[in-house]
């Protein structure tokens, strides 16, 4: 393409910060540098006002009230706060947590830590498209179940889960529901009232905002959700998350959320069209390709494809001018094949032959057409070498 840098199709791992977000953040590095907790002077007041606005922007994106938004350092912290915070406050009512086999490592590893604290964790399987069965989740509930954690949209295969139905089951059983909405927010409509969730985790850098900032939405309506803080020292964020607020990043998160709310539907429509060009083009040019994830209930910007007989690592080495991944960026240091692909029934060999394509706001049709050609060439070369070795 004549570009000096690779085509970027790894928007599930992180996204380019929108220039409008950068503009919103810029004054808060060196001009508006006050501490939002400094209530005695104008510098602090102006920083606090910026936080208030950002909190409203993030809340609006997900249909929450501003006082339900707790800012964190990112979704991993939000998930830890949700699971461990509920476990601590609800241990007297029960010590059982339910989650799904395809959850992000931030959920699964936190659940494993709870097991070390004496909690019992049930991991419910998913079907071949990555959907969890609400009946199975409800069947797993026992009198001591205190929390269910199921993601809204999967970070590897893009499948959108039945969160509304799960929420209804949880309400009937008086069990709290947490959902990881990191990949969903900004890509599909997300409304905590409609979904019926009690806790929702978010991350700015997955929606063209900065890294290092996220949020946990904690329901206040009805019977407010009570959870124990996991960071002590100062009582910031209404006592739920101590620590000096990262004002520039939070301002950027707010700006990214506002843009996503305003332009998300248009972005989603464009990304869905481009994904169709990508997938159809690859299927036309390469034999024996498996499309992973639900065919309909999926994120508009996701494509996860298995190329049997072609190692994903080898394919990616053949096309270094295309930035893609073979799974979650948070698990890339782990040599094992994707736990998500194994959970939907892919063999270890097929899981190692799968590539995730993530489109974003700045992906162009020219880049997609170019990527189709490069993927086809790379897969053909790798398969030819593999056959020659057999």
96-100 and 354-358 as β-strands: parallel, antiparallel, unpaired? Answer: unpaired
Asked if residue 192 lies in contact with residue 216, where contact means CB atoms within 8 angstroms, the answer is no
CA 222 centroid distance within chain: 27
Q: Which of 205, 372, 358 is nearest to 271 (CA)?
A: 358
As a whole number of angstroms, the distance between CA 313 and CA 265 comes to: 34
Check if 170 is active-site: no
Measured CA to CA, the distance from residue 301 to residue 359 in angstroms comes to: 5
Q: How many CB atoms lie within 10 A of CB 113?
A: 15
> What is the gyration radius of the CA atoms in the chain, in angstroms?
21
Q: Choosing from 37, 123, 329, 330, which is the catalytic residue?
A: 330
For residue 185, what are the β-bridge partners? 188
Count other C-beta atoms under 10 Å from residue 69's C-beta.
Answer: 26
- Name 176's bridge partners: 147
Point out the residues that are catalytic. 330
């Amino acid at each position: 393409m004549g570009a000096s840098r690779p085509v970027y199709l790894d928007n599930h791992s992180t996204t380019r910060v929108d220039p409008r977000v950068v503009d919103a953040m810029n004054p808060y590095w060196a001009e508006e540098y006050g501490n939002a907790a400094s209530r005695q002077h104008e510098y602090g007041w102006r920083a606090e006002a910026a936080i208030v606005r950002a909190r409203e922007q993030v809340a609006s994106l997900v249909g929450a009230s501003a006082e339900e938004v707790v800012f964190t350092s990112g979704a991993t912290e939000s998930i830890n706060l949700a699971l461990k915070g509920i476990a601590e406050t609800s241990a007297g009512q029960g010590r059982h947590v339910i989650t799904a086999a395809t959850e992000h490592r931030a959920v699964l590893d936190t659940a494993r830590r709870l097991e070390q604290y004496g909690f019992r964790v049930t991991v419910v399987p998913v079907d071949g498209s990555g959907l969890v069965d609400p009946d199975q989740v409800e069947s797993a509930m026992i009198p001591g179940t205190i929390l269910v954690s199921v993601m809204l949209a999967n970070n590897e295969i893009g499948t959108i889960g039945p969160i509304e139905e799960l929420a209804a089951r949880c309400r009937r059983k008086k069990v709290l529901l947490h959902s990881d909405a990191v990949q969903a927010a900004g890509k599909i409509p997300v409304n905590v009232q409609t979904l019926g969730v009690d806790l929702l985790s978010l991350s700015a850098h997955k929606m063209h905002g900065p890294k290092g900032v996220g949020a946990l939405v904690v329901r206040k309506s009805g019977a407010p959700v009570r959870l124990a803080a996991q960071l002590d020292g100062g009582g910031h964020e209404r006592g739920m998350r101590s620590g000096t607020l990262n004002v520039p990043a939070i301002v950027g998160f707010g700006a990214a959320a506002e843009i996503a709310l305003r332009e998300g539907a248009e972005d989603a429509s464009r990304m869905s069209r481009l994904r169709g060009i990508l997938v159809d083009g690859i299927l036309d040019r390469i034999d024996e390709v498996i499309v992973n994830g639900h065919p309909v209930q999926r994120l508009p910007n996701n494509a996860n494809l298995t190329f049997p007989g072609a190692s994903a690592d080898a394919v990616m080495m053949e096309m270094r001018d295309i930035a893609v991944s073979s799974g979650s960026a948070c698990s890339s240091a782990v040599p094992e094949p994707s736990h998500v692909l194994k959970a939907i029934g892919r063999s270890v060999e097929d899981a190692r032959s799968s590539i995730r394509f993530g489109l974003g706001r700045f992906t162009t049709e020219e880049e997609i057409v170019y990527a189709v050609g490069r993927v086809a060439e790379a897969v053909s070369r790798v398969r030819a070498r593999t056959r020659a070795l057999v």
